[in-house]
Amino acid sequence: MSQPPPQPLGPPPVPASTGLSAWTLWRVFARSLFLQASWNPQGMQNLGLAYALFPALKALYPDPERQMAAVRRHMVFFNTQPYMAAAILGGVLFHESRIARGEEPPEKVVSFKAALMGPLAALGDGFFWLSLRPALGAFCAALVPLLQEWAAVLFLVLYNAVHLTLRARLFRMGLLLGDRLVEAVAHAQLPAWGARLRTVGAASAGGAVAYLSMSLGANQGGQVGNLLAGGYLGLGVLAYWLVSKRFGNYALLYLAASLAVAAGAFL
């Protein structure tokens, strides 16, 4: 049976013929949201993966012996970025359906997981944890003085527009493409997008230092408002320098508070 060619992340792929019902696929996807419910240092996401796959394995293997063997082969060590795990879950179903039909040996799905979890974790960590989340966090936090509580709503909407779309697409791509989803994920150029997003994060944080210093300083300082605004700005620059010299974050936070309390008490 020939595999379809890889596709970029853009157009949604056609659902694969795994022999599983749409309801079963939906249950696997929904249960994958609990992937890290019992994260542990030994097997990491092993139990979460087995929990997510169980409805599909039950449907694919009516024979109890084969069902037990299928569940057991997914209780071994597994760890990847939780959103990118959707792609592996889809790919596992792709392979398990072929194993159930006798078209592949069971070792195939084990090597598929082992080969993909590392690279997908690196991609997902770099894009979601180190780029998208900090960029949107800094951007929306900087907008708090303007948007008030809507800044938090904006953060959720923007983040989840990317997160949920990618998660659902990756699951479907895994189902359709199996091993070849790596090529399709590579087309999305996540590292390049990540680098751009990190720039947004740094710029937003710089804007936040300046805006918070100026607006809050002017509002609270009364007659010494301008002096206070300048002081906060200087404190921001000093804080950046101290952090770059590996000064502790908590020490910095409490140092800033102590200086301000002392200034308020004695000025």
Partner 1 sequence: MVVWSQVALAGVWGGLLALERRAFLQAMFSRPLVAATSMGLLLGEVESGLYVGMLLELYHLGAANLGAALPENDTIAATGCSAAAAGCALSTGGGGTPAMWALAIILFGWLGALGRKVDRWLEPYNTRLSRKAVAVADEGQLRRAVQQNLWGMWPHFLIYAALAGGCSVVGFLVGPAVSHLPLRLVRGLAWAYPAMASGAAAIAARGSHARHSAAYAGVTAGVVVAASAALLILRRGL
Give the number of other Cβ atoms within 10 Å of residue 185's Cβ: 26
Q: Rounded CA gap, 136 and 74, in Å?
A: 35
Cα-only R_g, the chain = 25
Minimum distance between the CB of residue 241 and partner 1, rounded to whole angstroms? 8
Q: Which two tokens stand for residue 154?
A: 């904006």
Q: Rounded CA gap, 210 and 202, in Å?
A: 13
Minimum distance between the CB of residue 22 and partner 1, rounded to whole angstroms? 21
Q: Which is nearer to partner 1, 56 or 173 (CB)?
A: 56
Q: Which is nearer to partner 1, 4 or 248 (CB)?
A: 248
Minimum distance between the CB of residue 74 and partner 1, rounded to whole angstroms? 9
Q: Which is nearer to partner 1, 100 or 177 (CB)?
A: 100
Minimum distance between the CB of residue 26 and partner 1, rounded to whole angstroms? 16
Closest CA to 95 of 87, 86, 105: 105
Q: Which two tokens stand for residue 64?
A: 């109890």
SS3 167: helix
Minimum distance between the CB of residue 220 and partner 1, rounded to whole angstroms? 6
Q: Rounded CA gap, 148 and 140, in Å?
A: 10
Minimum distance between the CB of residue 145 and partner 1, rounded to whole angstroms? 9
Q: Rounded CA gap, 154 and 203, in Å?
A: 18
Q: Which is nearer to partner 1, 86 or 184 (CB)?
A: 86
Q: Which is nearer to partner 1, 110 or 235 (CB)?
A: 235
Read off the DSSP letter of residue 10: S
Q: Within 13 Å of residue 234, how many CA atoms lie on the same side as its CB?
A: 8
Q: Which is nearer to partner 1, 188 or 218 (CB)?
A: 218
Amino acid at 156: L
